[in-house]
Protein backbone atom coordinates (compact mmCIF):
# COMPACT_ATOMS: atom_id res chain seq x y z
CA UNK A 1 0.00 0.00 0.00
CA UNK A 2 1.21 3.57 -0.71
CA UNK A 3 2.66 5.33 2.33
CA UNK A 4 2.10 9.00 1.54
CA UNK A 5 -0.76 10.76 -0.21
CA UNK A 6 1.47 11.61 -3.17
CA UNK A 7 2.28 7.91 -3.63
CA UNK A 8 -1.43 7.08 -3.34
CA UNK A 9 -2.25 9.56 -6.13
CA UNK A 10 0.56 8.14 -8.27
CA UNK A 11 -0.72 4.57 -7.83
CA UNK A 12 -4.30 5.57 -8.68
CA UNK A 13 -3.23 7.42 -11.82
CA UNK A 14 -1.08 4.48 -12.89
CA UNK A 15 -3.87 1.90 -12.50
CA UNK A 16 -6.36 4.16 -14.25
CA UNK A 17 -4.19 4.81 -17.31
CA UNK A 18 -2.23 1.54 -17.63
CA UNK A 19 -4.62 -1.04 -16.19
CA UNK A 20 -7.78 0.75 -17.30
CA UNK A 21 -9.54 0.37 -13.93
CA UNK A 22 -12.75 2.27 -13.34
CA UNK A 23 -13.34 4.72 -10.53
CA UNK A 24 -15.41 2.12 -8.67
CA UNK A 25 -12.57 -0.45 -8.96
CA UNK A 26 -9.93 2.06 -7.90
CA UNK A 27 -12.03 3.10 -4.90
CA UNK A 28 -12.43 -0.52 -3.82
CA UNK A 29 -8.76 -1.40 -4.42
CA UNK A 30 -7.28 1.43 -2.36
CA UNK A 31 -10.09 1.87 0.17
CA UNK A 32 -10.75 5.52 -0.60
CA UNK A 33 -13.80 7.49 -1.71
CA UNK A 34 -14.65 8.31 -5.31
CA UNK A 35 -14.00 11.99 -4.62
CA UNK A 36 -10.40 11.13 -3.70
CA UNK A 37 -10.06 9.09 -6.91
CA UNK A 38 -11.39 12.01 -8.94
CA UNK A 39 -8.94 14.44 -7.32
CA UNK A 40 -6.04 12.07 -7.98
CA UNK A 41 -6.96 11.84 -11.66
CA UNK A 42 -7.12 15.64 -11.92
CA UNK A 43 -3.72 16.49 -10.33
CA UNK A 44 -0.54 14.74 -9.23
CA UNK A 45 -0.41 16.94 -6.10
CA UNK A 46 -2.92 16.53 -3.28
CA UNK A 47 -5.00 19.57 -2.41
CA UNK A 48 -3.50 21.36 0.64
CA UNK A 49 -5.40 20.88 3.85
CA UNK A 50 -7.65 23.80 4.64
CA UNK A 51 -6.28 25.86 7.52
CA UNK A 52 -8.67 26.29 10.40
CA UNK A 53 -9.10 29.82 11.76
CA UNK A 54 -6.99 30.59 14.79
CA UNK A 55 -8.71 30.04 18.07
CA UNK A 56 -9.34 32.98 20.30
CA UNK A 57 -7.16 33.64 23.35
CA UNK A 58 -7.80 35.21 26.72
CA UNK A 59 -5.05 37.68 25.77
CA UNK A 60 -6.91 39.03 22.70
CA UNK A 61 -8.69 41.71 24.69
CA UNK A 62 -5.41 43.11 25.96
CA UNK A 63 -3.23 42.94 22.83
CA UNK A 64 -3.96 46.53 21.89
CA UNK A 65 -2.87 47.65 25.36
CA UNK A 66 0.39 45.70 25.09
CA UNK A 67 1.04 47.14 21.63
CA UNK A 68 0.64 50.68 22.97
CA UNK A 69 3.07 49.96 25.83
CA UNK A 70 5.65 48.67 23.36
CA UNK A 71 5.21 51.76 21.16
CA UNK A 72 5.71 54.06 24.13
CA UNK A 73 8.92 52.19 24.98
CA UNK A 74 10.47 53.23 21.67
CA UNK A 75 10.90 56.78 23.03
CA UNK A 76 11.64 55.84 26.65
CA UNK A 77 15.21 55.76 28.08
CA UNK A 78 16.91 52.47 27.31
CA UNK A 79 17.23 51.44 30.97
CA UNK A 80 13.62 52.40 31.82
CA UNK A 81 11.70 50.33 29.30
CA UNK A 82 9.12 47.70 30.15
CA UNK A 83 10.21 44.17 30.81
CA UNK A 84 7.83 41.27 30.24
CA UNK A 85 7.34 41.03 34.00
CA UNK A 86 6.43 44.70 34.25
CA UNK A 87 3.93 44.46 31.38
CA UNK A 88 2.31 41.41 33.00
CA UNK A 89 2.07 43.18 36.37
CA UNK A 90 0.42 46.24 34.79
CA UNK A 91 -2.16 44.07 33.02
CA UNK A 92 -3.11 42.47 36.33
CA UNK A 93 -3.09 45.67 38.40
CA UNK A 94 -4.51 48.24 35.94
CA UNK A 95 -6.68 46.17 33.57
CA UNK A 96 -7.82 43.27 35.75
CA UNK A 97 -6.52 40.71 33.22
CA UNK A 98 -7.90 37.62 34.88
CA UNK A 99 -6.91 34.31 33.29
CA UNK A 100 -3.89 35.83 31.49
CA UNK A 101 -0.63 34.02 32.26
CA UNK A 102 2.95 35.24 32.17
CA UNK A 103 3.87 32.77 29.39
CA UNK A 104 1.12 34.22 27.16
CA UNK A 105 2.44 37.75 27.59
CA UNK A 106 6.05 36.68 27.07
CA UNK A 107 5.29 34.83 23.81
CA UNK A 108 3.26 37.75 22.42
CA UNK A 109 5.87 40.39 23.30
CA UNK A 110 8.66 38.27 21.78
CA UNK A 111 6.75 38.25 18.49
CA UNK A 112 5.38 41.80 18.49
CA UNK A 113 8.32 43.91 19.75
CA UNK A 114 10.38 43.68 16.48
CA UNK A 115 7.21 44.03 14.39
CA UNK A 116 6.21 47.24 16.14
CA UNK A 117 9.70 48.65 15.68
CA UNK A 118 9.39 48.07 11.91
CA UNK A 119 5.82 49.43 11.81
CA UNK A 120 6.97 52.66 13.48
CA UNK A 121 9.81 53.10 11.00
CA UNK A 122 12.58 52.55 13.50
CA UNK A 123 14.66 50.40 11.21
CA UNK A 124 14.52 47.11 9.32
CA UNK A 125 15.08 43.78 11.08
CA UNK A 126 18.68 42.97 12.00
CA UNK A 127 20.58 41.53 9.06
CA UNK A 128 24.09 40.17 8.62
CA UNK A 129 26.16 40.79 5.49
CA UNK A 130 28.72 38.13 4.47
CA UNK A 131 32.30 39.39 4.48
CA UNK A 132 35.40 38.43 2.48
CA UNK A 133 38.76 38.81 4.23
CA UNK A 134 42.01 39.32 2.35
CA UNK A 135 45.14 37.40 3.38
CA UNK A 136 47.26 39.13 6.02
CA UNK A 137 44.81 42.00 6.36
CA UNK A 138 42.62 41.60 9.46
CA UNK A 139 42.59 39.99 12.89
CA UNK A 140 40.39 39.89 16.00
CA UNK A 141 41.33 39.87 19.70
CA UNK A 142 39.34 38.98 22.80
CA UNK A 143 39.48 37.45 26.29
CA UNK A 144 37.36 34.54 27.53
CA UNK A 145 37.01 33.27 31.10
CA UNK A 146 37.98 29.67 31.89
CA UNK A 147 37.81 27.54 35.05
CA UNK A 148 40.65 25.18 35.94
CA UNK A 149 41.81 23.14 38.95
CA UNK A 150 45.04 24.91 39.94
CA UNK A 151 46.88 22.81 42.54
CA UNK A 152 43.56 21.20 43.42
CA UNK A 153 41.70 24.52 43.87
CA UNK A 154 38.98 25.64 41.38
CA UNK A 155 40.37 28.86 39.89
CA UNK A 156 39.00 31.30 37.32
CA UNK A 157 41.59 32.30 34.71
CA UNK A 158 41.41 34.16 31.39
CA UNK A 159 42.07 32.89 27.88
CA UNK A 160 43.63 35.44 25.49
CA UNK A 161 43.00 34.80 21.79
CA UNK A 162 44.26 36.54 18.64
CA UNK A 163 42.69 35.15 15.43
CA UNK A 164 43.58 35.97 11.82
CA UNK A 165 40.36 36.53 9.85
CA UNK A 166 41.51 35.00 6.53
CA UNK A 167 43.07 31.71 7.62
CA UNK A 168 41.38 31.32 11.00
CA UNK A 169 44.79 30.76 12.60
CA UNK A 170 44.41 31.52 16.32
CA UNK A 171 47.00 31.84 19.08
CA UNK A 172 45.94 31.42 22.71
CA UNK A 173 47.50 31.99 26.11
CA UNK A 174 46.06 31.73 29.62
CA UNK A 175 46.66 34.39 32.28
CA UNK A 176 45.68 34.83 35.90
CA UNK A 177 44.02 38.17 35.06
CA UNK A 178 42.82 40.10 32.04
CA UNK A 179 44.57 43.33 32.98
CA UNK A 180 46.74 45.47 30.75
CA UNK A 181 49.90 43.44 31.46
CA UNK A 182 48.18 40.23 30.28
CA UNK A 183 46.69 42.09 27.31
CA UNK A 184 50.10 43.29 26.12
CA UNK A 185 51.94 40.03 26.86
CA UNK A 186 49.27 38.11 24.99
CA UNK A 187 49.86 40.30 21.93
CA UNK A 188 53.64 39.81 22.11
CA UNK A 189 53.25 36.03 22.38
CA UNK A 190 50.72 35.84 19.54
CA UNK A 191 52.68 38.09 17.15
CA UNK A 192 55.89 36.15 17.78
CA UNK A 193 54.11 32.88 17.00
CA UNK A 194 52.54 34.32 13.84
CA UNK A 195 55.80 35.95 12.79
CA UNK A 196 54.26 39.30 11.86
CA UNK A 197 51.51 41.90 12.30
CA UNK A 198 48.30 42.18 10.22
CA UNK A 199 48.46 45.04 7.71
CA UNK A 200 44.85 46.11 8.13
CA UNK A 201 42.55 46.42 11.11
CA UNK A 202 42.68 44.45 14.34
CA UNK A 203 39.23 44.38 15.94
CA UNK A 204 38.73 44.86 19.71
CA UNK A 205 35.89 45.39 22.10
CA UNK A 206 36.08 48.27 24.55
CA UNK A 207 38.16 46.59 27.26
CA UNK A 208 39.80 48.83 29.84
CA UNK A 209 43.28 47.61 29.00
CA UNK A 210 43.08 49.61 25.76
CA UNK A 211 40.22 52.10 26.03
CA UNK A 212 40.04 54.80 28.69
CA UNK A 213 36.80 56.37 27.44
CA UNK A 214 34.11 55.69 24.83
CA UNK A 215 33.08 58.91 23.09
CA UNK A 216 29.30 58.61 22.96
CA UNK A 217 27.78 56.38 20.29
CA UNK A 218 30.58 57.03 17.81
CA UNK A 219 33.65 54.99 16.91
CA UNK A 220 35.84 57.50 18.70
CA UNK A 221 37.86 56.22 21.67
CA UNK A 222 40.33 57.69 24.15
CA UNK A 223 43.11 55.08 24.40
CA UNK A 224 45.45 54.52 27.34
CA UNK A 225 48.98 55.83 26.91
CA UNK A 226 50.68 52.43 27.26
CA UNK A 227 48.39 50.87 24.68
CA UNK A 228 49.01 53.76 22.28
CA UNK A 229 52.77 53.32 22.68
CA UNK A 230 52.43 49.55 22.19
CA UNK A 231 50.38 50.00 18.99
CA UNK A 232 52.92 52.45 17.67
CA UNK A 233 55.78 50.04 18.39
CA UNK A 234 54.15 47.13 16.50
CA UNK A 235 52.26 49.24 13.89
CA UNK A 236 48.85 47.89 14.92
CA UNK A 237 45.79 49.58 13.40
CA UNK A 238 43.02 49.17 15.98
CA UNK A 239 39.28 49.09 15.28
CA UNK A 240 36.79 49.17 18.18
CA UNK A 241 33.42 47.46 18.00
CA UNK A 242 30.16 48.96 19.23
CA UNK A 243 29.65 48.63 22.98
CA UNK A 244 27.53 45.81 24.37
CA UNK A 245 25.92 42.87 22.64
CA UNK A 246 25.21 44.94 19.53
CA UNK A 247 28.91 44.96 18.66
CA UNK A 248 29.68 41.32 19.45
CA UNK A 249 28.95 40.21 15.85
CA UNK A 250 31.59 42.63 14.56
CA UNK A 251 34.28 40.24 15.83
CA UNK A 252 32.26 37.05 15.73
CA UNK A 253 35.20 35.00 14.48
CA UNK A 254 37.20 35.25 17.70
CA UNK A 255 34.04 34.99 19.83
CA UNK A 256 33.23 31.66 18.22
CA UNK A 257 36.88 30.54 18.29
CA UNK A 258 37.12 31.01 22.07
CA UNK A 259 33.95 29.00 22.57
CA UNK A 260 35.18 26.21 20.27
CA UNK A 261 38.59 26.09 21.98
CA UNK A 262 37.01 25.98 25.43
CA UNK A 263 34.60 23.17 24.53
CA UNK A 264 37.13 21.01 22.68
CA UNK A 265 40.30 21.44 24.76
CA UNK A 266 39.22 22.55 28.24
CA UNK A 267 36.48 19.97 28.81
CA UNK A 268 36.76 18.23 31.22
CA UNK A 269 38.19 20.93 33.46
CA UNK A 270 42.01 20.57 33.33
CA UNK A 271 43.96 19.81 36.52
CA UNK A 272 47.40 21.44 36.56
CA UNK A 273 50.03 22.54 39.07
CA UNK A 274 50.89 25.84 37.39
CA UNK A 275 49.82 28.13 34.57
CA UNK A 276 53.13 27.43 32.83
CA UNK A 277 52.18 23.76 32.60
CA UNK A 278 48.75 24.66 31.21
CA UNK A 279 50.17 27.11 28.64
CA UNK A 280 52.54 24.42 27.37
CA UNK A 281 49.44 22.31 26.69
CA UNK A 282 47.72 25.28 25.01
CA UNK A 283 50.66 25.76 22.63
CA UNK A 284 50.53 22.08 21.68
CA UNK A 285 46.77 22.30 21.03
CA UNK A 286 47.29 25.37 18.81
CA UNK A 287 49.78 23.43 16.67
CA UNK A 288 47.41 20.47 16.40
CA UNK A 289 44.53 22.75 15.34
CA UNK A 290 46.46 23.73 12.19
CA UNK A 291 45.22 20.46 10.66
CA UNK A 292 41.56 21.43 11.21
CA UNK A 293 39.20 22.66 8.47
CA UNK A 294 36.71 25.42 9.20
CA UNK A 295 33.22 24.62 7.91
CA UNK A 296 33.37 23.72 4.19
CA UNK A 297 36.77 25.20 3.37
CA UNK A 298 38.91 23.20 0.97
CA UNK A 299 42.17 23.95 2.82
CA UNK A 300 43.17 23.44 6.43
CA UNK A 301 44.00 26.30 8.78
CA UNK A 302 47.72 25.56 8.48
CA UNK A 303 47.60 25.53 4.68
CA UNK A 304 45.76 28.85 4.53
CA UNK A 305 48.12 30.38 7.11
CA UNK A 306 51.08 29.38 4.92
CA UNK A 307 49.59 31.64 2.23
CA UNK A 308 48.92 34.45 4.71
CA UNK A 309 52.16 34.49 6.69
CA UNK A 310 54.43 36.10 4.03
CA UNK A 311 51.97 39.00 3.75
CA UNK A 312 52.22 40.03 7.41
CA UNK A 313 54.22 43.10 8.44
CA UNK A 314 57.60 42.03 9.93
CA UNK A 315 58.07 42.42 13.68
CA UNK A 316 60.29 45.24 15.01
CA UNK A 317 63.76 44.28 16.18
CA UNK A 318 63.51 46.18 19.48
CA UNK A 319 61.62 44.64 22.40
CA UNK A 320 58.76 46.40 24.18
CA UNK A 321 58.55 46.29 27.97
CA UNK A 322 55.05 44.98 28.63
CA UNK A 323 55.37 45.08 32.42
CA UNK A 324 54.18 48.00 34.53
CA UNK A 325 57.28 49.76 35.91
CA UNK A 326 57.10 51.64 39.21
CA UNK A 327 59.51 52.90 41.90
CA UNK A 328 58.61 51.86 45.44
CA UNK A 329 60.18 52.18 48.86
CA UNK A 330 60.89 49.01 50.85
CA UNK A 331 59.13 49.07 54.24
CA UNK A 332 60.55 47.89 57.56
CA UNK A 333 59.21 44.38 56.93
CA UNK A 334 61.42 44.14 53.81
CA UNK A 335 58.36 44.21 51.56
CA UNK A 336 56.99 46.27 48.68
CA UNK A 337 53.26 46.81 48.23
CA UNK A 338 51.90 46.35 44.69
CA UNK A 339 48.15 46.55 44.06
CA UNK A 340 47.20 45.66 47.67
CA UNK A 341 49.59 42.68 47.74
CA UNK A 342 52.98 42.46 49.47
CA UNK A 343 56.18 40.91 48.12
CA UNK A 344 59.47 40.43 50.00
CA UNK A 345 62.93 41.70 49.08
CA UNK A 346 66.31 41.22 50.83
CA UNK A 347 66.41 42.95 54.23
CA UNK A 348 69.46 44.99 53.24
CA UNK A 349 67.15 47.07 51.02
CA UNK A 350 64.90 48.28 53.86
CA UNK A 351 64.22 51.99 53.45
CA UNK A 352 65.61 52.16 49.91
CA UNK A 353 63.83 52.84 46.62
CA UNK A 354 63.65 49.87 44.24
CA UNK A 355 62.31 49.44 40.71
CA UNK A 356 59.39 47.01 40.42
CA UNK A 357 58.23 45.54 37.11
CA UNK A 358 54.77 43.94 37.29
CA UNK A 359 54.07 41.34 34.60
CA UNK A 360 50.94 39.30 34.00
CA UNK A 361 52.27 36.23 35.82
CA UNK A 362 55.22 37.45 37.87
CA UNK A 363 56.78 40.42 39.63
CA UNK A 364 60.47 41.34 39.36
CA UNK A 365 62.32 43.74 41.70
CA UNK A 366 65.54 45.53 40.68
CA UNK A 367 68.06 47.43 42.77
CA UNK A 368 69.56 49.77 40.17
CA UNK A 369 70.15 47.34 37.27
CA UNK A 370 70.51 44.18 39.38
CA UNK A 371 67.63 41.78 39.91
CA UNK A 372 67.12 41.17 43.64
CA UNK A 373 63.75 39.35 43.80
CA UNK A 374 61.33 37.51 41.53
CA UNK A 375 57.88 36.34 42.68
CA UNK A 376 54.89 34.64 41.13
CA UNK A 377 52.12 37.23 40.93
CA UNK A 378 49.28 36.85 43.42
CA UNK A 379 45.77 36.51 41.99
CA UNK A 380 43.73 37.50 45.04
CA UNK A 381 43.95 40.84 46.85
CA UNK A 382 45.46 41.50 50.27
CA UNK A 383 47.90 38.58 50.10
CA UNK A 384 51.65 38.29 50.59
CA UNK A 385 54.42 36.39 48.85
CA UNK A 386 57.47 36.12 51.13
CA UNK A 387 60.80 34.41 50.46
CA UNK A 388 62.54 32.97 53.54
CA UNK A 389 65.95 33.59 52.00
CA UNK A 390 65.33 37.34 52.06
CA UNK A 391 65.14 37.37 55.88
CA UNK A 392 68.13 35.18 56.80
CA UNK A 393 70.51 38.07 57.61
CA UNK A 394 67.94 39.50 60.03
CA UNK A 395 67.18 36.10 61.57
CA UNK A 396 70.85 35.58 62.43
CA UNK A 397 70.48 38.49 64.87
CA UNK A 398 66.92 37.50 65.87
CA UNK A 399 66.82 33.69 65.87
CA UNK A 400 63.76 33.67 68.12
CA UNK A 401 61.67 35.18 65.29
CA UNK A 402 62.13 32.19 62.98
CA UNK A 403 59.59 29.70 64.45
CA UNK A 404 56.66 32.10 63.92
CA UNK A 405 57.85 33.72 60.69
CA UNK A 406 55.28 33.97 57.89
CA UNK A 407 58.04 33.36 55.37
CA UNK A 408 58.79 30.02 57.07
CA UNK A 409 55.16 28.92 56.75
CA UNK A 410 55.14 29.81 53.05
CA UNK A 411 58.46 27.99 52.53
CA UNK A 412 56.95 24.86 54.12
CA UNK A 413 53.85 25.13 51.91
CA UNK A 414 56.00 25.53 48.79
CA UNK A 415 58.15 22.50 49.70
CA UNK A 416 61.35 24.55 50.05
CA UNK A 417 61.58 23.96 53.80
CA UNK A 418 61.29 20.19 54.03
CA UNK A 419 60.67 17.81 56.95
CA UNK A 420 64.40 17.04 56.77
CA UNK A 421 65.12 20.67 57.62
CA UNK A 422 62.73 20.47 60.58
CA UNK A 423 64.29 17.26 61.90
CA UNK A 424 67.83 18.67 61.67
CA UNK A 425 66.67 21.92 63.33
CA UNK A 426 65.20 20.05 66.29
CA UNK A 427 68.34 17.97 66.70
CA UNK A 428 70.57 21.08 66.49
CA UNK A 429 68.49 22.89 69.12
CA UNK A 430 68.73 19.86 71.39
CA UNK A 431 72.50 19.71 70.97
CA UNK A 432 73.37 23.45 71.10
CA UNK A 433 70.35 25.18 72.60
CA UNK A 434 67.51 26.98 70.86
CA UNK A 435 69.40 30.13 69.88
CA UNK A 436 72.60 28.48 68.65
CA UNK A 437 70.71 25.61 67.04
CA UNK A 438 68.55 28.08 65.11
CA UNK A 439 71.64 30.04 64.02
CA UNK A 440 73.16 26.79 62.81
CA UNK A 441 69.99 26.15 60.77
CA UNK A 442 70.19 29.65 59.27
CA UNK A 443 73.78 28.94 58.22
CA UNK A 444 72.50 25.78 56.54
CA UNK A 445 69.74 27.73 54.77
CA UNK A 446 72.36 30.15 53.43
CA UNK A 447 73.89 27.20 51.56
CA UNK A 448 70.85 27.20 49.24
CA UNK A 449 72.07 30.45 47.69
CA UNK A 450 75.02 28.83 45.94
CA UNK A 451 74.23 25.11 46.04
CA UNK A 452 71.52 22.96 44.48
CA UNK A 453 68.50 22.50 46.74
CA UNK A 454 68.49 18.70 46.41
CA UNK A 455 72.19 18.50 47.29
CA UNK A 456 71.69 20.56 50.46
CA UNK A 457 68.71 18.43 51.55
CA UNK A 458 70.74 15.27 50.95
CA UNK A 459 73.63 16.74 52.95
CA UNK A 460 71.27 17.58 55.82
CA UNK A 461 69.91 14.03 55.84
CA UNK A 462 73.43 12.53 55.88
CA UNK A 463 74.60 14.82 58.68
CA UNK A 464 71.43 14.07 60.66
CA UNK A 465 72.01 10.31 60.45
CA UNK A 466 75.63 10.80 61.52
CA UNK A 467 74.71 13.08 64.41
CA UNK A 468 76.77 16.00 62.97
CA UNK A 469 74.81 19.09 64.03
CA UNK A 470 77.04 21.75 62.45
CA UNK A 471 76.64 23.78 59.29
CA UNK A 472 80.16 22.83 58.16
CA UNK A 473 79.28 19.14 58.21
CA UNK A 474 76.15 19.80 56.14
CA UNK A 475 78.13 21.91 53.66
CA UNK A 476 80.73 19.18 53.27
CA UNK A 477 78.16 16.45 52.68
CA UNK A 478 76.22 18.65 50.26
CA UNK A 479 79.38 19.21 48.24
CA UNK A 480 79.98 15.49 48.25
CA UNK A 481 76.52 14.92 46.77
CA UNK A 482 77.22 17.63 44.22
CA UNK A 483 80.47 15.97 43.22
CA UNK A 484 78.63 12.68 42.82
CA UNK A 485 76.23 14.33 40.34
CA UNK A 486 79.11 16.03 38.49
CA UNK A 487 82.17 13.79 38.96
CA UNK A 488 85.61 15.32 38.55
CA UNK A 489 89.08 13.79 38.63
CA UNK A 490 89.51 14.68 42.28
CA UNK A 491 86.01 13.53 43.22
CA UNK A 492 86.53 10.15 41.56
CA UNK A 493 89.44 9.34 43.90
CA UNK A 494 88.74 7.50 47.07
CA UNK A 495 87.94 10.01 49.80
CA UNK A 496 89.14 9.31 53.39
CA UNK A 497 86.26 9.17 55.82
CA UNK A 498 85.42 8.01 59.29
CA UNK A 499 82.36 6.11 60.39
CA UNK A 500 80.01 7.45 63.03
CA UNK A 501 77.36 5.75 65.14
CA UNK A 502 74.51 4.35 63.09
CA UNK A 503 76.70 3.44 60.10
CA UNK A 504 76.67 6.97 58.54
CA UNK A 505 79.95 8.49 57.39
CA UNK A 506 81.18 12.07 57.61
CA UNK A 507 84.24 13.03 55.58
CA UNK A 508 87.13 14.69 57.43
CA UNK A 509 87.90 18.01 55.78
CA UNK A 510 91.64 17.83 56.66
CA UNK A 511 92.04 14.26 55.42
CA UNK A 512 90.09 15.10 52.28
CA UNK A 513 92.41 18.00 51.49
CA UNK A 514 95.54 15.93 52.17
CA UNK A 515 94.27 13.16 49.91
CA UNK A 516 94.22 15.43 46.85
CA UNK A 517 97.51 17.31 47.57
CA UNK A 518 100.68 16.31 45.67
CA UNK A 519 103.37 14.38 47.66
CA UNK A 520 105.85 16.51 49.69
CA UNK A 521 109.54 15.53 48.92
CA UNK A 522 110.99 17.66 51.74
CA UNK A 523 112.60 15.78 54.72
CA UNK A 524 110.88 15.81 58.06
CA UNK A 525 112.15 18.55 60.45
CA UNK A 526 114.78 17.62 63.13
CA UNK A 527 115.48 18.99 66.63
CA UNK A 528 119.03 17.60 66.87
CA UNK A 529 120.57 21.08 66.74
CA UNK A 530 118.95 21.89 70.02
CA UNK A 531 120.78 19.10 71.87
CA UNK A 532 123.85 21.34 72.41
CA UNK A 533 121.82 23.31 74.90
CA UNK A 534 121.75 20.28 77.20
CA UNK A 535 125.41 20.88 78.45
CA UNK A 536 124.35 24.01 80.30
CA UNK A 537 122.73 23.53 83.70
CA UNK A 538 120.39 25.87 85.46
CA UNK A 539 121.68 27.74 88.52
CA UNK A 540 120.43 26.13 91.76
CA UNK A 541 118.16 28.23 93.82
CA UNK A 542 120.38 27.96 97.00
CA UNK A 543 123.86 28.60 95.54
CA UNK A 544 126.19 28.84 92.50
CA UNK A 545 126.10 26.30 89.71
Q: Select from 512, 443, 440, 517 the least CA-distant residue to 483.
A: 512
Helix (H) or strand (E) holding 10: helix 5-14
3-state secondary structure 255-301: HHHHHHHHHHHCCCCCEECCHHHHHHHHHHHHHHHHHCCCCCCCCCH
CA distance 441 to 460: 10
DSSP assignments along 196-221, one per residue: SB-SSEEEE---TTTEEEE-TTSS-E
pLDDT of 188: 95
DSSP assignments along 36-76, one per residue: HHHHHHH-SSPPPPPPPPPPP-TTGGGHHHHHHHHHHHTTS
Cis peptide before 268 (omega within 30 of 0): yes
Query: Strand 221-223 relative to strand 211-214: parallel, antiparallel, unpaired?
Result: antiparallel
Residues whose CB is less than 8 angstroms from the CB of residue 456 and which lie 6 or more positions away in sequence, other chains included: 444, 447, 448, 474, 478
**Coil, strand or helix at 33:** coil
Report the predicted TM-score, pTM, of the whole model to 2 decimal places: 0.67
Q: What is the CA radius of gyration of the chain?
A: 42
Helix (H) or strand (E) holding 30: helix 23-30
pLDDT more than 90, % of the chain: 60
pLDDT of 500: 45
Per-residue pLDDT of the chain (545 residues; tens, 9 = 90+): 677 889 998 999 999 998 889 999 999 999 999 999 999 999 988 888 888 887 888 999 999 999 999 999 999 998 899 999 999 999 999 999 888 999 999 999 999 998 998 888 887 666 777 888 899 999 999 999 999 999 899 999 999 999 999 999 999 999 988 889 999 999 999 999 999 999 999 999 888 888 888 776 677 788 888 899 999 999 999 988 877 666 667 788 899 999 999 999 999 999 999 899 999 999 999 999 999 999 888 999 999 999 999 999 999 999 998 988 999 999 999 999 998 999 999 999 999 999 999 998 899 999 988 999 999 988 778 999 999 999 999 999 999 999 999 999 999 998 899 999 999 999 999 999 999 999 999 999 999 998 999 999 999 999 999 888 999 999 999 998 888 876 544 444 444 454 444 455 555 656 666 666 777 788 888 888 888 777 766 666 665 55
pLDDT of 541: 62
**Beta bridge mates, 163:** 140, 170
Amino acid sequence: MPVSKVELYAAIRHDARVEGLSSRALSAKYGVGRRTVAMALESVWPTPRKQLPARGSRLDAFKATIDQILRDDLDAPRKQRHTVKRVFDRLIEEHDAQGVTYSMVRAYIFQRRPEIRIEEGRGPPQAFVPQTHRPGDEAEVDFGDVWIHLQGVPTKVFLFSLRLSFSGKAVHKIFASCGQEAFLEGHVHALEVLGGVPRGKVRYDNLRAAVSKVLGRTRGRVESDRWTAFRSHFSINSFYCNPGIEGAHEKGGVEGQIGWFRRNHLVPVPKVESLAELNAMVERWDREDDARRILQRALTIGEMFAVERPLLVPLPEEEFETGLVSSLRVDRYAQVSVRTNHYSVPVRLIGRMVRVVLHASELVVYDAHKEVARHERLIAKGGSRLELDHYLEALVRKPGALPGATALDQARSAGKFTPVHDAWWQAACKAHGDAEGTRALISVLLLHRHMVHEHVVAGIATALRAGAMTADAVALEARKWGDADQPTEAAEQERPHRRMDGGATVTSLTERRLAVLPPDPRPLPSVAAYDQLLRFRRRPADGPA
